[in-house]
Amino acid sequence: MQPQGPFCQCCAMPLSESEQHGTEADGSKSKKYCVFCYKDGAFTMPNATLEEMIEISAKGWSEQDPNMTYAQAKAFLEKCLPQLERWRK
């Protein structure tokens, strides 16, 4: 299960707008990661675990979307995040 296209390969946030993209070390926009997860070519939370990212993202998603509860967001992210590039084993 993955969100529809382009989306952050760390937290699954949609990347439909330029300002949602993180930045590479050279200042260019990241094609893979969002502004919350990636800045200046590095992860903003380099030591975060998959479980921590699920909790952080579920809280953010449920606060931003009035139609999504925390439990719904967490259930979706528990299925989605392990498949993303940063978390794949």
Per-residue pLDDT tens for 38-79?
Answer: 999 999 999 999 999 999 999 999 999 999 999 999 999 999
Rounded distance between C-alpha atoms, residue 43 and residue 46, angstroms: 5
pTM of the model as a whole: 0.87
Backbone angles phi, psi at 21, to 5 degrees: -80, 140
